[in-house]
Structure 1
Amino acid sequence: MKTPAEIARTQRSRRGLPAAVAAAALVLAVTACGPSATSRTSAAETGQDTGVPALEVNEAAARLLPEPIKSTKVLRVAIPTNEPPTQFYREGTQEMTGTNPDVARLIGQALGVKVEIQVANFDSIIPGMAAGRYDMTVSSMTPTAKRMQVLDFVDYMQMGNSIAVAQGNPRGIKDQKSLCGGKVGLLTGSYQLTVNVPEYDRACTAGGRDTIQRSEFQDTRQAISALTSGRLDAVLADSPILNFAATQNSQIEIAAKYDFTPVGVGMPKDSGLVKAVSAALSAVVKSDAYLKVLGKYGLESSAITDARINFAQ
């Protein structure tokens, strides 16, 4: 019988990506503007009650798991933090909660494995998976053609963009077209930064207006602080996060909500996980437990009924 250390070494080697794929994954992280936080395991995964509804094991999905995860019965899931209601620590604890950790736990239940949540900055997640540190991510990541060069995706919920402005909307921002020439806060590595803003800039230039002045932040709390202090005209980020922030902070309001599209669970290509996760999520999104999890955070409207595989946005 192998020792725990030997099993861990075998698991890491089997889950690692080929060098070419790892290099491609690192290319996707070039938008990083600061040091990544050290990955750490949420205290919620040490036996505490996470408050997630019980879900039966889907035996057919569990049989599709790759052998390393079948043997360890552990799924290492990378998730950012500081972004309620999608992921955050319960006040005064190191227990991770929110829609993303809870959906990850539902997937784990469906597969009959323990979910070990690893907290990491968003822009470090894809390189981390390339290095074999994580098996998958549930981090509101939008499937894009570029990300799908190195990751497989399975849809698990939908969300849109929101534009937050200072209370009273002093600049009169009505939609994304109003962002031309403005100072806009964005999350490092986000879909808004890497896909939306380049598209908006092209429209600004075509209309004879200045492009967006970008400022990058590791989480929306930092961006909102810059907004309320007058350093930004707006913050562009995922709608659940900014909508929730606006209910907690009377100094900001939501100027626009738009572009509701699915986000997906991401996992390295050729890891052998996509079939198992797809089968598990197909059962999860049809369950009462899934609707209860989204309802707990006021995101019932984000529910989907079809867990599509590799559907690029």
Structure 2
Amino acid sequence: MRKPASIQRIKPGLPAVVVTAALMLTVTACSPAGNASPSDPSGSPATAGTGVPALEANPAAVELLPASIKASKVLRVAIPTNEPPTQFYREGTQEMTGTNPDVARLIGEALGVKVEIQVANFDSIIPGLAANRYDMTVSSMTPTTKRMEVLDFVDYMQIGTAIAVPKGNPGGIKDQHALCGRKVGLLTGSYQLTVDVPGYDKECAAAGKEGIQRSEFQDTRQAISALTSGRLDTVLADSPILNYAATQNPQIEVAATYEFAPVGVGVPKESGLVKSVSKALDAVIRSGSYAKVLGKYGLESSAITDARVNFAQ
């Protein structure tokens, strides 16, 4: 979600398969992201109905699995919700779909284990991993130095940050340098809130300007509602989510998209999972299944070629 040069911007058009997520925003509106929901038991070896291409188990990755996972043959994966196209409920079901659940399922296939999706608020995921409620997270989480104190990360996709504004951009916000004194909506626990905005505030102070007025939300739907009702000037969040939201909501537009960089699968340091997950992701990224999953949601340009381990952004 942060830097490397020569990375293409995410394509604005999304395939029809994702359009059903527009209804999902209204369906899930009565169910906050943090509400407990039934686990999604889909995964390796049975991914029927999930739309995830089949992928053979990678023997080297399987061999590196911790004994507990080898015995249970289950990988508990924490993922937020209400954020199409990265994660959302399939219409009329409690089954999670989107790039993050599908990548998690590909990792499960490569490891020869069943993936159980556990829905959680983003800011509760790291504490949940520490408490052994989950084995892994695939949640568009940016590897930062602070997060790497407790988690190991393996890169799996690249995304950017986007700035959403009311249609017509009445506030004239063209980039992140125009946020001083503005009312900005941010997702709780996000990279934008914890890393970007503190940096922007320093720039504002250095220029003798008022700092950013922050408002936190558990999901982007809530933040966009505040934006369209006039309570916010802008929303700052992951680019796939805001780009998609702008295609579904005629009241908003994306004013800027910037700072693309990889996000990573997170596993607790003491779990011993990082070696097997790294080997599995190497196999996933080299497979045709990886490109098919990203293409399914219009995120082909989010593909990476190297599953780097613990590369802080």
The normalised TM-score by structure 1 is: 0.87
Higher relative contact order (CA 8 A, sep 6+): 2
1:234-278: CA deviations, max 9, x gaps? 000000000000000100000000000000000000201000000
Please state how far the C-alpha of 1:38 moved relative to its aligned partner: 3.2
Give yes or no for contact 1:44–1:94 (8 Å, CA) kept in 2. no
Q: CA 1:189/1:39 → structure 2, altered by over 3 Å: closer, same or farther?
A: farther
- Letter aligned with residue 120 of structure 1: A
What is the deviation of 1:49? 1.6
Give the Å deviation of 1:113: 0.3
DSSP-derived class of the 1:162 partner? strand
Counterpart of 2:40 in structure 1 is 42
C-alpha spacing 1:40/1:188, structure 2 compared with 1 (3 Å): farther
Residue aligning to 1:280: 280
Structure 1: stretches of 5+ with no match in the other structure: 1-33
Q: What SS does the corresponding residue of 2:153 show, helix, strand or coil?
A: strand
Kept in 1: contact 2:163–2:234 (CA 8 A): yes
8 A contact 2:47–2:54 mirrored in 1: no
Q: Does structure 1 retain, via aligned residues, the 8 Å contact 2:33–2:80?
A: no
The verdict on how the C-alpha distance between 1:194 and 1:182 changes in structure 2, with shifts beyond 3 A counting, is: same
TM-score calculated relative to the size of structure 2: 0.87
Partner of 1:144, secondary structure, is: coil
Partner of 2:269: 269
Q: CA RMSD in A?
A: 1.5
Q: Any residues of structure 2 matched to 1:166-205 within 5 Å, and which? A: 166-205=166-205
Q: CA deviation at 1:192?
A: 0.3
Structure 1 residue 41 displacement after superposition? 1.2
Equivalenced residues, count: 280
Q: Deviations over 1:11-35 (max 9, x none)?
A: xxxxxxxxxxxxxxxxxxxxxxx99
**Counterparts of 1:192 and 1:99 in 2: how far apart (Å)?**
20
Counterpart of 1:123 in structure 2 is 123
1:61 touches 1:110 (CA, 8 Å); kept in 2?
yes
CA distance in 1, matches of 2:34, 2:220: 16
Deviations along 1:21-65, one digit per CA (max 9) or x if unpaired, are xxxxxxxxxxxxx99533641365697621100001100100000
Aligned partners of 2:34, 2:110: CA distance in 1, in Å?
31
User: In the alignment, is the contact (CA less than 8 A) between 2:129 and 2:135 conserved in 1?
Assistant: yes
Task: Please report how far the alpha carbon of residue 93 of structure 1 lies from its aligned counterpart in structure 2 after TM superposition.
Answer: 1.1
Paired with 2:207 and 2:282, the residues of 1 have a C-alpha distance of: 44
Aligned-partner Cα distance in 1 for 2:130–2:78? 12
State the 4+ residue runs in structure 1 displaced beyond 3 angstroms: 34-40, 43-48
Distance in 2 between residues matched to 1:223 and 1:172, nearest whole Å: 19
CA contact (8 A) 1:57 1:112 kept: yes
Counterpart Cα distance in 2 of 1:270 and 1:112: 22
Structure-2 residue corresponding to 1:293: 293
Percent identity, please: 77
Given that 2:41 and 2:116 are in contact with CA atoms closer than 8 Å, whether structure 1 keeps it comes out as no
Does the alignment pair 1:65 with 2:87? no
Q: Distance in 2 between matches of 1:39 and 1:269?
A: 27
Tell me the residue number matched to 1:159.
Answer: 159
Distance 2:217 2:38 in 1: 20
Q: Distance in 2 between matches of 1:200 and 1:300?
A: 30
1:91-240 mapped onto 2 (5 Å cutoff): 91-240=91-240
CA shift for structure 1 position 89: 0.2
Structure 1 residues 265 and 175: alpha-carbon distance in aligned structure 2, compared to 1, 3 A threshold: same
> Structure 2 counterpart of 1:76, which letter?
R
1:214 is paired with a residue of what secondary structure? strand
8 Å contact 1:246–1:253 — kept in the other structure? Answer: yes
